[in-house]
Structure 1
Amino acid sequence: MQTYAIGDIHGQYDLMIRAFELISEDRARDGSADTPVVVLGDLCDRGPKSAQVIAYLYEAQKRGENIVVIKGNHDRMFATFLIDPFARDPRLRAELTWLHPRLGGPKTLESYGLREPGTRPVNQVHAEALEAVPLAHRNWHAALPLYYRRDEALFVHAGIAPGVPLEDQSEDDLLWIRSSFLTDPRDHGMLIVHGHTALDVPTHYGNRLNLDSSAGYGGPVTAAVIEGRDAWLLTPEGRKKMEPQLQAETTS
C-alpha cells in the first residue's frame, strides 16, 4: 500500500506544483492512480504565494482529488488571527506574534493583496484580511485534520509525544513538538511521517521520516512515496531510496 507525501510548503506555490508534477510522473510509471497524496501542513507564511497554495489545495479537494491536507502550526496561527487578531498561540514565544516577519504572517496577507500588513494597526489589517480571504477558504483551512493514518504510517505535521496513545495526543504537540520527539529513538508502533523541523535534506530515521526540506528558508518542497516503513524521494530522475539513519537531529 503506497502513499505519497509532500512536506512543508510555506507559500511556495511554484515549488508545490513541481512536487505534484513529480508525483504525476511517478504515477505514470507506477500505475498507482488512486494513491492518496498527504500534504503535511504549513501551507502558508514566509513564501510569496500562500493564497495561491490554499486556493489550489481547496479546489483540488473540491474536485474530488485524493488529497489529504494536514494542519500545521503556521496554518493554526493564520486561522487564529482571522478569528481574533490579538489571540496568541500557546506554543508561540512571548516576544513573537504571527505578524512578526520571522513567522511570516505578513507575507501571507500580502499574497491576499494587503498592503504593508506588518506595520499598520492590527484592527485595520484584520478587517481587510476578512474581506480578502474567501470565507470558504477560511473555514476549510481552519478545519484541517491533525493527522492521517494509513497502513504502517502516521502522517502529522510536527510529530507525536512519545509513549502517549494517539487518541490522547494534544493538538499542541501534534503541531509544535520538537526535542522530546526528535531525540527519541524508540519505535512508535508506526512510521511517523512529519515536517515542521527544517532540514537541508529530507531524512529517514527508522522510526520517523522528516520531509521538511526548508521551503520556508529557500529550500525545495519535497515529494516522497511511502510503502510500509520504506520511503523513496521523488526526483526528476525517478525514485531515490531513503535509507534509514540513526543520528537524531539537533533541536537548537
Structure 2
Amino acid sequence: MTDGIHYLDARGPDGVRLYAIGDVHGRLDLLEKMHERIAGEIERDRPADWRIIHLGDYVDRGPASRGVLAFLIAARRRDERMITLAGNHDIGFLDFLVAPSKESLFMQFGGIETAASYDVRFGRFFRDLDRFHADLVQAVPPEHVGFIRSRRFSVSFGDFFFCHAGIRPGIPLDRQISDDLIWIRNEFLHHPNLHPKVVVHGHTITREPEVLANRVNVDTGAWRSGVLTALVIEGAEKRLMTAQA
C-alpha cells in the first residue's frame, strides 16, 4: 500500500500556523520557555491564525505536574486555540484517583512525583497506599480532574493528524480507538507505508526528534533530557524548535 501523504508533500491548512509540542511530564520550566518562544514568534510574524497543540503526558516523572496542569488550564481559558490532547499518563492519573493500585502506571512510572507536586508523599517512611490515595484525592483540585477528563484524543489539521502515541495502521483515522491513540508503539512505529495523513506524536522517547515519511515524533524525553521539542507547520514549511533547561 503506497497511497497516503508523504511528509515532504504534506501541508498545513492555509493561513494557520501550527505548533505541536511533545511530552512535558511535569517540566513546567520548559513548557513556559516554549510558550515564551512561541508567543515571541507570533508577535513578530503576525500569522493570520495559529494553534498550539499539546500532545499529552502533562503529568508524572518531572517535578511540577500540578503546575503544568494549572498553566494549561489558564492558557486554554485565555485562548481556545490552545489545544490539549490526552496522553496515557494523564489517563493513568485519573485511573489511579478512581482505583488505586501499586501495580498501576501511576505508581510504577512517575506518579510519586506527580503526587509530590500536590504535597502528598509516598516513599521510604510512608507507604500506606490507602492513606496516600485518600490524601491525593483530597489534594487534587476538581478543576484538574475535569480538565484531564475532557481532553480529546486526537485532532487533525490539513495533511497532519495529531495524537499522543500513534495510530493503528490500516484503520481509518476517524475510527481509531482511544487506547491505540495513547498507547500504541510497535505496530505503528515500524509501519513502513504512508498513512492517510502524516501522524505527529510523542509517547516514545528518542534522543533527537524523528522526522520520517509517515510520522514525526517530538518526544525528546523532556523530563530527563531537559529538552522539550515542537514541530512547527505553516503551509508547506515545517521546522523543529526546542526549549532547553
With the shorter chain as reference, the TM-score category is: 0.7 to 0.9
1:12-38 superposed Cα distances (whole Å, 9 cap, x missing partner)? 000111111121122133212630100
2:111 maps to a residue whose letter is G
1:31 to 42, 46, 60: 46
1-structure distance, mates of 2:132, 2:77: 29
1:27 touches 1:33 (CA, 8 Å); kept in 2?
A: no
Query: Displacement of 1:128 after TM fit?
Result: 0.7
1:65 Cα shift? 4.3
| Displaced runs of 4 or more, over 6 A | none
Query: What CA distance in whole angstroms lies between the structure 2 residues aligned with 1:83 and 1:235?
Result: 35
Q: Deviations over 1:144-168 (max 9, x none)?
A: 1100111111110000000111232
Go from structure 1 to structure 2 and tell me whether the alpha carbon gap of 1:132 and 1:96 turns closer, same or farther (over 3 Å shift).
closer
Answer whether contact 1:4 1:225 (CA < 8 A) is retained. yes
Q: 1:183 aligns with which of 186, 190, 197?
A: 190
Q: CA deviation at 1:105?
A: 0.5
Name the residue aligned to 1:18.
Answer: 33
Q: What TM-score, normalized to structure 2?
A: 0.86
Q: Aligned partners of 1:206, 1:29: CA distance in 2, in Å?
A: 31
Please identify, of 12-21 and 59-68, the stretch whose mean Cα deviation from structure 2 is larger: 59-68
**Map of 1:165-204 to 2, 5 A cutoff?**
165-204=172-211
Maintained 8 Å contact 1:109/1:117: no
Question: What's the CA shift string for 1:158-187, capped at 9, x where partnerless?
Answer: 000001112322211111111111111211
Which residues in structure 2 correspond to 1:46-125 (within 5 Å)? 46-86=61-101, 97-100=105-108, 103-116=109-122, 119-125=126-132
TM-score under structure 1 length normalisation: 0.84
Q: Assess, with a 3 A threshold, how the Cα gap between structure 1 residues 63 and 25 changes in structure 2: closer, same or farther.
A: closer
Which is further off, 25-34 or 38-47? 25-34
Q: Determine helix, strand or coil for the equivalent of 2:228.
A: coil
Name the CA distance, whole Å, in 1 between partners of 2:113 and 2:121.
10
Q: How many residues align?
A: 227
Q: Distance in 2 between matches of 1:59 and 1:210?
A: 27
State the percentage of identical aligned residues: 40
What is the distance in 2 between the residues matched to 1:220 and 1:235? Answer: 6
Question: Match of 2:107, SS?
Answer: coil
SS of 2:238 mapped into structure 1: strand
Q: CA offsets, 1:79-136, max 9 Å, x none?
A: 11112213x9xxxxxx664212xx0000000001112268522211111111111001
CA RMSD of aligned residues (A): 1.9
Q: Deviations over 1:24-60 (max 9, x none)?
A: 1221332126301000000011000000000110111
Gap runs ≥5 in structure 1: 89-94, 237-252
AA at the equivalent of 1:135? P
Amino acid at match of 2:90: D
Secondary structure in 1 matching 2:106:
coil
1:132-143 aligned within 5 A: 132-143=139-150
Match of 1:144 in 2: 151
For residues 211 and 37 of structure 2, what CA distance do their matches in structure 1 show? Answer: 19
